[in-house]
């Protein structure tokens, strides 16, 4: 299996994660213009499984280091498989709430609040389990991320006031999603070996963990996503019949692409955790918060109608977040 062999490469992989996790939601925003997001989400979940298998039988089955995908899956114990599976179940609920928040309030609100909160919780949870990196530098960086989230919340409130609307629904959905999302990574990491070169017996390598995670997400869709289909937070009710009769080929492909983009980032993040540690790799990957916000601000123009004074808050948001990420990176070096 292919393995990351240096901290520098691990940081690069985390930046790829950041771009993937911050960009996959664009497919949701594009596809759900005329396609209910719960129906889009079925294609997204299939995309996760598809790309996890492609990586498993390519990168996960080459080279002499570690264990190949089939061998790794065959030797995995029940607890490791269950932990990664539950990670998918937990993430699925949080991700559906994030997608709903995007539909209600836009990328520039849902991502900084929801994913930013998940970053803060996730770094704490993962550091307590595997304490790698300078805690003072690491948590100073996390504190700056919190400050960036506050700047974004204030800016979002100003936009809503200028439109005569309230961001409460979108913010509540984002906060709920962030709290739940903050714990999924720990479940996946608990099922994984800490050394990919000489993997622990019974534990999973990154390729197998991503596959089992994806299966957990897909199966839990029949619970979580069915609820959102028949009791939508935004938009009209949809049915399983609608998925097969109303969706265009393009809409289905966009959903698959969303899953492919997300799981590429997730796999690269787990591969990086071998050299960076779970807390730092997760924290860097969740820099996706600002990537998502950047899409909302600069491409989808979600703050176009905001008062000019809001620009100062947005600049402060990006500065504090980027500085926080830099400190998270430095925590492993200093």
294: Cβ–Cβ under 8 A, 6 or more apart, which residues? 22, 318
Q: Which residue has the higher pLDDT, 54 or 7?
A: 54
Per residue in 140-161, pLDDT tens? 988 888 888 788 777 776 766 6
In eight-state DSSP terms, residue 193 is -
Q: What is the pLDDT averaged over residues 209-213? A: 98
Chain position carrying tokens 């591969």: 271
Write down the pLDDT at residue 294: 73
The length of the chain in residues reads: 334
CA dihedral 177, 178, 179, 180 (to 10 degrees): 50
Q: How far apart are CA 192 and CA 250, in angstroms?
A: 36
Judge residue 300's burial from the number of C-beta atoms within 10 Å of its C-beta, 0-12 exposed, 13-18 middle, 19 or more buried.
Answer: middle
CA dihedral 175, 318, 330, 199 (to 10 degrees): 50
Neighbour tally for 25: CB within 10 Å: 26
**Residue 245: C-alpha distances to residues 39, 130, 201, 248 (Å):** 11, 48, 46, 9
Two tokens, residue 249: 């080929």
Write down the pLDDT at residue 192: 95
Q: Are 98 and 177 in contact (CB under 8 A)?
A: yes
End-to-end CA distance of the chain: 30
Q: How far apart are CA 127 and CA 284, in angstroms?
A: 13
64: Cβ–Cβ under 8 A, 6 or more apart, which residues? none
- When pLDDT is cut at 50, 70 and 90, the band that residue 164 belongs to is low
Sign, CA dihedral 125-129-131-132, equals negative
Which stretches within 106-203 are classed as H helix? 107-110, 116-129, 135-163, 168-190
Query: Among 58-67, 162-171, 193-202, 280-289, where is mean pLDDT lowest?
Result: 162-171
Which stretches within 25-134 are classed as H helix? 25-31, 37-57, 69-75, 78-105, 107-110, 116-129
Query: Among 90-94, 104-108, 179-183, 314-318, where is mean pLDDT lowest?
Result: 104-108
pTM score: 0.85
């Amino acid at each position: 299996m292919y393995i990351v062999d240096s901290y520098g490469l691990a940081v690069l992989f985390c930046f790829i994660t950041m771009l993937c996790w911050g960009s996959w939601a664009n497919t949701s925003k594009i596809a759900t213009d005329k396609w209910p997001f719960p129906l889009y989400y079925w294609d997204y979940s299939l995309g996760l499984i598809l790309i996890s298998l492609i990586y498993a039988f390519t990168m996960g089955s080459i080279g002499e280091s570690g264990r190949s995908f089939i061998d790794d899956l065959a030797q995995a114990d029940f607890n490791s498989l269950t932990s990664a599976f539950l990670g998918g179940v937990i993430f699925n609920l949080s991700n559906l709430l994030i997608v709903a928040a995007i539909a209600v309030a836009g990328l520039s609100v849902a991502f900084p609040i929801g994913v930013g909160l998940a970053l803060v919780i996730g770094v704490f949870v993962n550091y307590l389990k595997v304490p790698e990196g300078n805690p003072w530098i690491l948590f100073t960086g996390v504190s700056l991320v919190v400050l960036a989230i506050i700047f974004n919340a204030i800016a979002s409130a100003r936009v809503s006031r200028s439109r005569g609307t309230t961001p409460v629904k979108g913010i509540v959905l984002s906060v709920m999603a962030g709290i739940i999302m903050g714990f999924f990574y720990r479940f996946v990491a608990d099922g994984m070996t800490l050394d990919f070169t000489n993997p622990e017996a019974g534990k999973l390598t990154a390729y197998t963990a991503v596959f089992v995670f994806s299966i957990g997400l897909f199966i839990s869709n029949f619970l979580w996503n069915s609820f959102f289909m028949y009791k939508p937070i935004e938009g009209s009710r949809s049915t399983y019949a609608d998925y097969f009769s109303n969706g265009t080929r393009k809409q289905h492909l966009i959903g698959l692409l969303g899953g492919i983009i997300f799981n590429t980032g997730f796999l690269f993040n787990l591969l990086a955790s071998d050299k960076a540690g779970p807390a730092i790799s997760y924290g860097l990957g969740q820099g996706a918060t600002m990537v998502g916000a950047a899409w909302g601000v600069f491409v989808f123009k979600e703050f176009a109608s905001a008062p000019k004074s809001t620009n100062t808050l947005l600049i402060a948001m990006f500065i504090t977040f980027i500085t926080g990420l830099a400190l998270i990176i430095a925590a492993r070096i200093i």
